[in-house]
Amino acid sequence: MLNISIDKSQTRIVVIGAGIGGLTAGALLARRGYSVLILDQALVPGGCASTFKRQGFTFDVGATQVAGLEPGGIHHRIFSELAIDLPEATPCDPACAVYLPGESTPINVWRDPKKWQEERQRQFPGSEPFWQLMATLFNASWEFQGRDPVLPPRNLWDLGQLIQAVRPSTFITAPFTLFTVGDALRLCGLGNDYRLRTFLDLQLKLYSQVNADETALLYAATALSVSQLPQGLFHLQGSMQVLSDRLVQALERDGGKLSMRHTVEQIKVENGKATAVVIRNQKTGEVWTQTADHIVANVTVQNLTQLLGEQATFGYKNRVEKLPQASGAFVVYLGVDASAIPLDCPPHLQFMYDANGPIGENNSLFVSVSHAGDGRAPDGKATIIASSFVDPAPWWHEDYEGLKQKYTQEAIARLNQYFYLKPETIIHQEAATPRTFARYTARDRGIVGGIGQRIPTFGPFGFANRTPINHLWLVGDSTHPGEGTAGVSYSALTVVRQIEARG
Ligand SMILES: Cc1cc2nc3c(=O)[nH]c(=O)nc-3n(C[C@H](O)[C@H](O)[C@H](O)COP(=O)(O)OP(=O)(O)OC[C@H]3O[C@@H](n4cnc5c(N)ncnc54)[C@H](O)[C@@H]3O)c2cc1C
């Protein structure tokens, strides 16, 4: 191996961004002996998985549930390598209670596979061939992903990693590589099952940005199956911030450095190799150039091309410009009296309102509710966080305050169909829009959730961690395997392995 003779402590790595992707990459690199500096423009680390506090409440900014905490799960693996404790967490059961338009009984996505099978057989009679296909594809894909393939491969080493992850069982997925979920529904004779399709559209929009007709089947097989044992979704004790805090702890213990409120304004490239970043200290206004042997960009691929400017290769820039418009998010954060919450309220719910309307734009809400003692609210109080995917464009061009007020009122009115939200039960109310996300996470136009898991952009066809510029790496939800704290942690691990392989 090349890296045997190299003194890693002399290899300087600059990570742009302290989201879960950047923190995981930085902490692992520091653990493996590299000299690491992470820069983030925000006040607190964690990006879309950070938190803020108001009037005694702690609100998760974006991510509220975590996958990959089980033994063998990606957070579990990474925390084991870093020798830090996994955050305390409670499993979400049901992972989600989904209310379809006009229905008052939810579809409960249970954690126990048997219970979930019974539920879906009752809810969607005749759909079992579809779910069995999903289970078969999930098992093969999950085992494949667990062997750390590099997707998409960009050189011989990457290809070697990909090939070593393939087993005879993996080939079962091959004929389905170009299938969407819509194709699979039709294949199983369920193309006209409107209720099943609506349920899938709703759930898939959360994970893939797009509906069943567009979502790549192989991606969906995983996204729809991780809520069941032996995997599962979890609610972290305290808040989502604990994930970032532990990664920062590991980074600093191993000699790495994190500088908040430092914005990277430019990546410098010489002879096809990334060599330095231009940094602005937001407090002092000081600007300087920091050289680096490797630069890990924990930003969206759209932001990456902006940081490169004219230095981005034509093909790369062109591909980014041609991506379909990504979604933004509208989020309402409520601090409420516990009397606003129905008894036995599950931790996560999803509602769709108008059967003929779009899935996003406040017509559906994904809701996360705190529970007593989980560290998010004082005794006798609770937090409700409701998010909806929106088109980011109007938020930059139209009457911003008016739009924000309209969306907030609509969201609260809709939530009121399930919760008891009255002036006397709402203690704190606040909303985030694409502009808010742009400001606090620096994501281009406030887009969230990655590039969408359509056929041309998922897995083998997506954006690689290895960029066309040598020693410049892309980490985060624009890359395989996509959005979520678990997804970006895989992406971080891949980059760390790629850097190590190069020495
Ligand atoms: C409303 C919402 C709900 C979600 N729910 C869930 C969920 O329940 N579970 C889940 O797993 N995922 C969820 N997600 C997705 C998940 O939060 C993200 O996919 C993931 O956190 C992204 O991590 P990241 O490391 O790729 O990037 P980010 O979180 O975007 O972090 C990037 C960091 O880089 C910094 N940065 C960017 N540009 C610069 C620059 N030029 N200079 C310096 N710093 C810079 C930013 O300040 C930021 O801290 C949700 C997302 C949203 C928006």
Q: pLDDT, tens digit, for every residue of 176-208? A: 999 999 999 999 999 999 999 999 999 999 999
CA of 440 to the centre of ligand 1 (A): 10
Ligand 1, from 15, 48, 390: best to mutate by most atoms within 8 Å of Cβ?
Answer: 48
> Which SS3 state, helix, strand or coil, does residue 396 take?
helix
Which DSSP letter does residue 19 get?
B
Whether residues 185 and 249 fall in one domain: no
- In terms of domains, do 318 and 453 share one? yes
Residue nearest ligand 1's atom 49 by CA: 47
Q: What is the pLDDT of residue 5?
A: 62
Pocket residue to mutate for ligand 1, from 109, 240, 259, 298, most atoms within 8 A of Cβ = 298
pLDDT for position 341: 98
21-41 mean pLDDT: 98
What local confidence, expressed as pLDDT, does residue 2 receive? 47
Mutate to test the pocket of ligand 1, among 483, 488, 490, 495 (most ligand atoms within 8 A of CB): 483
Q: Is residue 1 part of a domain?
A: no
Pairing, β 12-16 against β 294-297: parallel
In this structure, the answer to whether residues 474 and 497 fall within a common structural domain is: yes
Q: How far is the CA of 2 from the centre of ligand 1 (A)?
A: 33
Q: How many domains does the chain have?
A: 3
* Residues 485 and 458 placed together within one structural domain of the fold: yes
81 and 172 fall within a common domain: no
**Residues 377 and 426 placed together within one structural domain of the fold:** yes
**Nearest CA residue ID for atom 51, ligand 1:** 62
The Cα 331–Cα 103 span in angstroms is 23
**Strand, coil or helix: 458:** coil
**Which tops the pLDDT comparison, 1 or 74?**
74
Answer whether residue 400 is part of any domain: yes
Task: Give the binding-site residues of ligand 1, using a 6 Å CB cut-off.
Answer: 16-22, 39-42, 47-49, 62-66, 263-264, 298-299, 303, 329, 331, 387, 441-443, 448-449, 476-477, 483-485, 488
Of 231, 259, 293, which one is at a domain's C-terminal end?
231
Provide the pLDDT for residue 1. Answer: 43
Is 295 a member of any domain? yes
Residue in 216, 167, 269, 112 with CA at minimum distance from that of residue 453: 216
Pairwise CA distance, residues 207 & 68, whole Å: 15
Same domain, 315 and 459: yes
Closest CA to 293 of 466, 473, 493, 476: 473
> Does 269 fall in a domain?
yes
Name the DSSP class of 327.
P
Model confidence at 23: pLDDT above 70: yes
CATH number of the CATH domain containing 305 = 3.50.50.60
3-state secondary structure of 164: helix
- For the entire predicted model, the pTM comes to 0.97
Same domain, 110 and 201: yes
For residue 462, being part of any structural domain is answered with: yes
Tell whether 156 and 205 lie within a shared domain: yes
Do residue 227 and residue 106 come from a single domain? yes
Same domain (yes/no): 353, 437: yes
Range of the domain at 487: 8-51+69-88+239-323+449-502
Of 441, 468, 483, which residue sits at a domain end?
Answer: 441
Mention every residue, 6+ apart, whose C-beta is less than 8 A from residue 205: 211, 359, 360, 364, 389
- Mean pLDDT, the chain, integer: 96
Q: Out of 231, 266, 282, pick the residue that ends a domain.
A: 231
Nearest to 448 by CA among 328, 320, 301: 328
- Asked, for residue 169, whether it belongs to a domain, the answer is yes
In this prediction, residue 503 carries a pLDDT of 52
Q: What is the Cα–Cα distance from 138 to 41, expressed in whole angstroms? A: 38
Residue 487 has pLDDT above 60, yes or no: yes
| 397-434 confidence digits (pLDDT tens) | 889 999 999 999 999 999 999 999 999 999 999 999 99
Is the predicted pLDDT of residue 7 greater than 50, yes or no? yes
Within a 10 A sphere around the Cβ of 334, how many other Cβ atoms? 26
- Based on the fold, state whether residues 274 and 355 are members of the same structural domain: no
Q: Whose CA is nearest to atom 6 of ligand 1?
A: 63
Alpha-carbon distance of 428 to 419, in angstroms, equals 15
The pLDDT-based confidence of 339 (bands split at 50, 70, 90) is very high
- Could you report how far apart the first and last alpha carbons of the chain are, in Å? 8
Residue 293 lies in a domain: yes
List the residue whose alpha carbon is closest to atom 16 of ligand 1: 484
Q: If you take atom 41 of ligand 1, which residue's CA is the nearest one? A: 264
DSSP 110-154: -SSHHHHHHHHHHHSTT-HHHHHHHHHHHHHHHHHHHT---SS--
Indicate whether 357 pLDDT > 90.
Answer: no
Is residue 290 domain-resident?
yes
